[in-house]
Amino acid sequence: MTLRKTRYALAGCAMAGIFALAGMAGASDIGQTVKQACSRCHSPKRVCLTVGVKNDAAWKATVARMVQKGAQLPADRIDAASAYLAGLAPGTGTVCE
């Protein structure tokens, strides 16, 4: 492999790593956002009891209802929050800490 090809390969790997880390940070951020929004009214235990039980549609309905009742979550984050909650295994995630 030539030096030029090696440099391109290394640059490609570095970019892939940056994108992977950015994706992980996004998941972490929504988890923290959800925890803050839910914990204003609910204990972590209450939210954690339904993690791994509800699907995305059920979480979307729940999160939208909580936002209507005053939860501090921007409306454009409802889909991300419900997808995050639906993707958790029972008893896991930032909301269960």
Q: Where does the pLDDT of residue 19 fall: very low under 50, low under 70, confident under 90, or very high at 90 and above?
A: very low
Residue 5 has a pLDDT of: 55
Cα four-point dihedral sign 35, 41, 43, 49: negative
Q: What is the per-residue pLDDT for 17?
A: 39
pTM above 0.75, yes or no: no
Question: 58 exposed, middle or buried (CB, 10 Å; 0-12, 13-18, 19+)?
Answer: middle
pLDDT digits (tens, 9 = 90+) for 27-80: 569 999 999 999 999 998 999 999 999 999 999 999 999 999 999 999 999 999
Distances (CA, A) of 96 to 9, 22, 91: 40, 23, 6
- How far apart, in whole angstroms, are the C-alpha atoms of residue 84 and residue 30? 7
